[in-house]
Amino acid sequence: MIRLYIQNENGIERTADIENLSCRPEDIFWVDLLTPDAAELQFAEQLCRIEMPTQDEMREIEATSRLYTEDGARFMTTTVLSRVETEEPILSEMTFILKSERIVTIRHTDSYSFRVFSHQLLRQKQVSRDQVFVGLLETIVDRQADVLERFGTDLDALSKRVFSHRHTGKGRKREPVTQEMRVVLEDLGSIGDLITRQRDCLVNLLRLLSYASNAETSDPSQPNLYVTLRPISRDVNSLSEYASFLSSKINFMLDAVLGLINIEQNEIVKIFTVASVIFMPATLIASIYGMNFENMPELRSEYGYASVLVAMAVSIILPLLFFRMKRFI
């Protein structure tokens, strides 16, 4: 799909019809390519007189493959976390190309930030190439901030689940946590993976902003872009710090969850240990009087059976009272 943004005396218009285009080429200030086909790529290359990068080239991680100048155009590629609202968020690459008074964007995944900025742009009367570039970056950064805020809210909810307690009349007592904590572990792992991806996106954005700013300082025709990009760089730096904080919080919560699971398992082991100790004296008594020796006077006693039962009961009750007194159970 291709979208052409045209600026004329009537304001800003958008069209996807490249077959019946009636405007002048210089009126097209933004070419937006979303998973373009061969015909759309050819049209954009002829219009801008540059060779567009392929999807494989956009995925390369070397800085020289993502940020470079060629044929008088600056190519800048970054990575953005997309489809966050779905069950399968993905990292998608998008390329910004600045040449003359025109900007070209190439992406292979639909972006919420682009949709928002496009609606805002169509309400304007006149814009420049740099205003589109800066506006897109601001919208992308705002979207990344919203995503991180959502992750922070999700972590706060998980934190309450991990550290909440059920009150009883005699104090606090944890409900069984093993099954619940398994679910929390899965959620923490999912959020942690997304935050790691988000940090990677922010690093790429910082590189793009640094390159755009440094390149622009040597371009006397556009002296104000560096000043405009500085606040965006500060915002991205603050988001990176917040992402690092969330990562630290996840590590802390992982340790806490594993500790709670360990405590719960220890409680189960303690129950079996106490049970074995409680019934050990009774088992010993039963074993003694279960021996088949002929010379055992108690076996012929009228009250022998009852006496042994009482002794076994006492041997169970006394350890039980002791453990209750020591609050082992």
Region at 83 (left for phi over 0; alpha for psi -120 to 50; beta for the rest): left
Give, rounded to a whole angstrom, the gap between the first and last alpha carbons of the chain.
68
Residue intervals in the chain for CATH 1.20.58.340: 267-325
Strand ranges in the chain using DSSP code E only, listed in sequence order: 2-8, 11-15, 28-34, 67-70, 73-82, 90-99, 102-107, 166-168, 171-173
Query: Is pLDDT at 282 greater than 60 in this prediction?
Result: yes
Helix (H, G, I), strand (E, B) or coil at 114: helix
User: Which region among 7-21, 35-49, 169-183, 270-284 has the lowest average model confidence (pLDDT)?
Assistant: 169-183
Region at 28 (left for phi over 0; alpha for psi -120 to 50; beta for the rest): beta
Residue intervals in the chain for CATH 3.30.460.20: 2-264
> Please, which residues have CB within 8 angstroms of residue 213's CB and are 6 or more apart in sequence?
225, 226, 229, 230, 233
Q: CATH code for 2-264?
A: 3.30.460.20
Query: Is pLDDT at 217 greater than 70 in this prediction?
Result: no
Q: Determine the pLDDT at residue 215.
A: 63
How many other CB atoms sit within 10 Å of the CB of residue 155? 19
16-42 per-position pLDDT tens digit: 888 888 888 889 999 999 999 999 999
85-139 per-position pLDDT tens digit: 888 888 999 999 999 889 999 999 998 999 999 999 998 888 988 999 999 999 9
Residue whose structure tokens are 């991180």 = 148
* DSSP conformation class of 13: E
Q: Determine the pLDDT at residue 179.
A: 76
> Please, which residues have CB within 8 angstroms of residue 328's CB and are 6 or more apart in sequence?
270, 274
Its CATH architecture, for the domain 267-325, is: Up-down Bundle (1.20)
How are beta strands 28-34 and 102-107 bridged, if at all?
parallel
Query: Is pLDDT at 8 greater than 70 in this prediction?
Result: yes
* Contact by Cβ (8 Å): 201, 240: no
Q: Is the pTM of this model over 0.75?
A: yes
21 vs 140, residue with greater confidence: 140
Q: Determine the pLDDT at residue 165.
A: 53
| Phi, psi angle pair for 63, to nearest 5° | -65, -35
Query: Is pLDDT at 166 greater than 70 in this prediction?
Result: no
